[in-house]
Structure 1
Amino acid sequence: MPRPEKPLNPDASPRDWFGHEVRYWRKQRGYKASTLGPLVQVSPSLLEKIEKGTATCRRDLAERLDEVLETGGVLTRAWGMVYGETEKPRGETEKGASRKVEGTVQAHQGRILGRDISSPSGSPEPVDRRAFLATSSLAAFASIDLAGLVTPAAPPQLPARIRPKDIAQVLSVADDIHRRDNAHGGGGLVGVLASRAMQWSVGLLTAPCPDPLRPQLLSAVAQLGIVVGASHFDSYAHDDARVAFKIAADCAEEANDWHQRAKVYSFLARQAIWIGDPDTGLTQAEKGLVRADRLTPTIQAMLHSARARAFAKMGDVGGTLAAVGAADDAFAKSNPADDPPWMAYYDEAQHHGDTAHAWFDLVILKDQDPGQAQRRFEIAIAGHDDGYARSRAISGTKLASLLMAKGDPQHAAVVGHRALDDAGGLTSQRAADDLKELSRFASRHWRLPETTYLRERIGATLQA
C-alpha cells in the first residue's frame, strides 16, 4: 500500500500555506502528484516539494495548475501574495541556501561516469516560453560557447507563427543531442542541453501553427522528447525521462505517427526493465506493437528485442527465446530505405547488442549456454564505431562479465580493459553500473593478477 501523504502545516509560513492550497486543489480534483506533474510539465517530485513548502513555485506553473485544476485563478492570485516580484532565487529548503534549485545548472567537478555530476534534477523547468537556444538559428547550437547556450543572456521569443524552419530546427537539435548522447553519455552538459531543448520545443506547441504543419511539428517534438528522455534515462534522471517520454507519446498520438509512438514505448519498456520492473517493461513493449502491420520490420525488431529483455529478466526462458526469434525474423526483413531516418541507429550492431543482453540474463539467471550471448556481443562490439562509444562500452563490459562468470577470466580481463578504454570517456550511469557488475564477477578470481588489475582500473575509472 502507498504511504499516506505527510500532513502539512499551512500556518508555518506563506510558502507552506501556498503548498497546502496546491495539495487541497489537487485532491479536490482527484489527482495524484505522479499524475498531475506531467500535465503541468514538471516532475512529481517538484510538485511534492512545492506542496511541502521546500521548493519555489514559478508564476507560470501556478497559472498551469489553475488551468488544469480549474480553480478559477486561486493559485495565481495566491502566488502574487506569497512570492510576488520580490521572490529571490533560493535552494529547495530554507536551511539549504546553497543547494541547487530544480532546473538550474551548477558547475561541479563531477566524477567520470556521472557520479556527483550535477545536471537538472526532476523534470525540465516549467515551460516559460524561453528557448534554450541563444538565437533563433542553429548557429548558436553549433558554436563552441556551450556555456552561453545553456544560460543565454537574452532568451528569444517564440515565433509568432510556426514555420517549416522551426520544425527543421527541432529535428536538427534532436539529431545533435542524439549524437552527443551516444558518443558521451547522457549526464553532464549533454543532460543540461537536453533539458533546455525540451523546454524550448514544448513552448513551440503553444505558438500558432498552420494546420498542415501541425502534424509535422508534433512528430518533431515527439522525436526530440524521445532523444531527451533517453539521455535522462542514461543519467538516471528517471522522473525527467518519464516526463519527456510522456510528452513524446502524447505528441506522437496526436500526430497519428505510429513509428514515433512505437519508439516511445520501446524506450519506456527499456527504462522499466532497467529499474527492475520487467513486467511493466513487457507491457510497454506490447503497447508499442499495437498495429504492428503499420510498423517497419526494423521497428518491430526493436520492440521484440525489448520483449526479450523483459522475459529474460523474469527468468522466462521460453518467452525470451520466442521473442529473440521474433526479433531476428523481423530484422532479417529490415530495409533501411523503408525506415524513418531516426531509426538508422538500429543496425546489425544494435540489434545483436540488444538481443545479447537478453541472452546474458538467461546465462546468469538460468544457466543457459553462453555461446549465443558471446557471439552477439562480439558482433555488436565490432559494429559500433566511435559515434556509438557508449553502446560499444556497454556491450564490451557485458561480454567481459559473461566471460568472467562462465568463461576464461584472463580473456575476460582483456575484453574488460578494451571496454574501459571506451567507458572512461563517458558520463553514463548505466555504463558505471555495468562496470560495477564486472568488478563483482572479477572478484571471484581474486587470485589472478589480471583480474586484480582490472578491478583496480575499474575503481580508478569510477572515481576519476
Structure 2
Amino acid sequence: MPQPEKKLNPGASPQEWFGYQLRKHRKLNNLSARQLGRLVQVSDDMILSIEHGKYPSCHLHLAQRLDEVLGTDGLFGDAWPMVFKPADADKKSPDADKSPSRLVEDVAPGHPGRMLEGDTPSPSGSPVPVDRRAFLYNSSLAALASIDLVALVSPTNLPQPPARIRPLDIDQILSVADEIHRHDNKQGGGGLVGVIAGHAMQWAVGRLTVSCPDHLRAPLYAAVARLGIVVGASHFDAYAHEDARIAFKVAAECAEEAPDWHLRAKVYSFLARQAIWVGDPDAGLTYAESGLVRSDRLTPTIQAMLHSARARAFGKMGDVRGTLAAVGAADDAFSKSNPAEDPSWMAYYNEAQHQGDTAHAFWDLAMRADQDPARASHRFEIAVAGHTDDYARSRAISGTKWASLLMAKGDPSQAAAIGQRALDDAGRLTSRRAADDLTDLSRFAKQHRGLPEVEGLRERIAATLQA
C-alpha cells in the first residue's frame, strides 16, 4: 500500500518553502518525482529530498533547469540565493585587506605570450585563482565591478521550447548529437566539448515535456536517446562519471520509450565500457549481456560491438576461456556485418574499431594471465593503420596501448617509435582516458631506462601531460 505524502510546511524554513513550491509546481505539471528527475537529469530521490527541505545544497543550475521544465518563470532561480546560500559566502578572502594595486602585482605578473597569467598550476594542479575585484579595479572593466561577469554574459531569456514538437525539432537534436560525436572522437570529451554536451542534453530533455503528435513521439525519444549516448560518452571520456551515468540512464529510458532496440543496445555497450574502465568488469559483463537481450533484433555489427564489450570484461577478470569465446563471437558477428543494415550512427564501428576493441581484451590477457601478446599486437596494428584523423582519439588510445604492450612484453625500441606516433594524436586531445594510458606507457618504459629512444619518449610524455 503506498505511503501517504509527507505534509510540507512552507513557513518552517526557506528550504521547506522551496520544497513546497517544487512539489506544487511538479503536480501542476502532472509529473511524478521520477519523471521530473529524468527531465532535469537528477534522481527522484534528490527531487523528493529537496521537496522535504532536506537537501542542503541544491545547485543554481538545477534551480534554473526546474524553472525551464516546470515553466515557473524564474521562481526557483530567483529564490536560490536566499534559500541555498553559497558555502563560501561568509568566508573572508585572505587578500581582502590588501590594496588593489598590490593584488594585481601578486596574482598577475604575466610573461611573454600570455595575456593574463591566471592559469599557472597550483601544487594541487588547479589554476591559481585570480582576485576578481582586483582585476576589475585595475582594468577597463572597473565600471562593472558590482556585476557578476558570469551572469553578465549569460542569456537573460533562455530559448523557449516550441509549443508543439515538429520534425525540425527532432532534426536539430540529431544534428547536435552528430556534431558532439564528431568533435568528441576527434578532440576528446574534455574542455569545451564537454560543456556543450552538458548544455545540449539539458536543452533536448526539455523537449520531452512539449506536446508531441503521436507519429513523432517515437522519433523524438529516439533522438534524445541518441543525444544522451554521445553526451554520456563525452562525459565518460572526461571522467565526469556521474554525469555520464545520468546521461546514459536518460538515453536508456528514452530508447525504451522509442522503442529502439539498436539504441538500447548502444547504451548498454557504453555502460559496460564505463563499468569496466572504472574497475568493475563484473558489472560491465552484466551490462553487455543485457544489451544482447533479443539479439535477433540487432544487426550483426551491433552484436559484434556488444560481444567485444563482453570480451573486455572477461579480459579484465583474467578469464582466458571467457575472453577467447567472446572474441570469437565478436569476430563471427562482425564477419556478417553489412553497413547498409546498420543505423547511420554505427558507421564508426568499422574494421579498425573492431580490431582495437578486441585487442584491448587480449592486452589484458597478456598482462594479467601471461598470454601471447601477439594476439593483441596484431589487432592494435590493424586498428592504428585503419583509424582516420576523424577518430584521432581511438587511434591514440590503440597506439598507446600497443606501445605499452611492446614496452612490457616485446621490443622497447619499436614500442618507443609507436608511442611517439601515438603522442602526435594524444597531444592534441582533451581526454582523461588517453592521458591515463600515456601515464601507464611511461611507467612501463621505466624498466628500459638508458635507451635513448625510450628516455626521449618518457620526456615527451611528461611534457605532454604537464601542458
Q: TM-score, normalised by structure 2?
A: 0.75
Q: Could you tell me whether the CA contact under 8 Å between 1:56 and 1:92 is conserved in 2?
A: no
Residues 1:266 and 2:261 aligned together:
no
Structure 2 equivalent of residue 289 of structure 1: 292
CA positional deviation for 1:204 = 0.6
Distance 1:45 1:96 in 2: 31
CA positional deviation for 1:85 = 7.5
Partner deviation per Cα, 1:25-47 (whole Å, 9 max, x = no partner)? xxxxxxxx999965752379988
Question: RMSD of the alignment, in Å?
Answer: 3.6
Amino acid corresponding to residue 79 of structure 2 in structure 1: G
Q: TM-score, normalised by structure 1?
A: 0.76
CA positional deviation for 1:182 = 0.3
Residues 1:184 and 2:179 aligned together:
no
Residues 1:214 and 2:211 aligned together:
no
CA positional deviation for 1:84 = 2.8
SS in 2 for 1:205: helix
Structure 2 equivalent of residue 372 of structure 1: 375
Distance 1:20 1:159 in 2: 28
Q: Which of residues 275, 279, 286 is equivalent to 1:276?
A: 279
What are the residue-to-residue correspondences of 1:44-443 with 2, within 5 Å? 51=54, 53-56=56-59, 58-59=62-63, 84=79, 87=82, 91=86, 93-94=88-89, 109=119, 151-152=154-155, 154-443=157-446
Amino acid corresponding to residue 41 of structure 2 in structure 1: Q
Structure 2 equivalent of residue 41 of structure 1: 41
Q: Which runs of 5+ in 1 are unaligned?
A: 1-12, 23-32, 68-75, 99-107, 118-146
Amino acid corresponding to residue 293 of structure 2 in structure 1: V
CA positional deviation for 1:400 = 0.4
SS in 1 for 2:209: coil
Which structure would you say has the larger RCO, counting Cα contacts within 8 Å and 6 or more residues apart? 1
1:230–1:97 Cα change, 3 Å = farther
Q: Which runs of 5+ in 2 are unaligned?
A: 1-11, 22-32, 94-117, 128-149
Distance 1:374 1:19 in 2: 58
Distance 1:230 1:300 in 2: 19
Distance 2:445 2:399 in 1: 14
Q: Could you tell me whether the CA contact under 8 Å between 2:362 and 2:376 is conserved in 1?
A: yes
CA positional deviation for 1:424 = 0.4
1:62–1:385 Cα change, 3 Å = closer
Max radius of gyration: which structure? 2
Q: Could you tell me whether the CA contact under 8 Å between 2:41 and 2:247 is conserved in 1?
A: no
Distance 2:352 2:46 in 1: 39
Distance 1:418 1:18 in 2: 59
1:400–1:85 Cα change, 3 Å = closer
CA positional deviation for 1:14 = 5.2
Distance 1:332 1:290 in 2: 21
CA positional deviation for 1:18 = 7.3
Q: Could you tell me whether the CA contact under 8 Å between 2:262 and 2:298 is conserved in 1?
A: yes
Distance 1:325 1:240 in 2: 34
CA positional deviation for 1:93 = 4.4
Structure 1 equivalent of residue 3 of structure 2: none
Partner deviation per Cα, 1:345-381 (whole Å, 9 max, x = no partner)? 0000000000000000000000100111001001000
CA positional deviation for 1:156 = 1.7
Partner deviation per Cα, 1:223-271 (whole Å, 9 max, x = no partner)? 0000000000000000110110001000000111000000000000000
Amino acid corresponding to residue 450 of structure 1 in structure 2: E
1:219–1:56 Cα change, 3 Å = closer
Distance 2:176 2:87 in 1: 31
SS in 1 for 2:177: helix
Distance 2:374 2:403 in 1: 13
Q: Which of residues 435, 449, 459 is equivalent to 1:446?
A: 449
Amino acid corresponding to residue 327 of structure 1 in structure 2: A
Q: Could you tell me whether the CA contact under 8 Å between 1:54 and 1:93 is conserved in 2?
A: no
| Length, aligned pairs only | 390
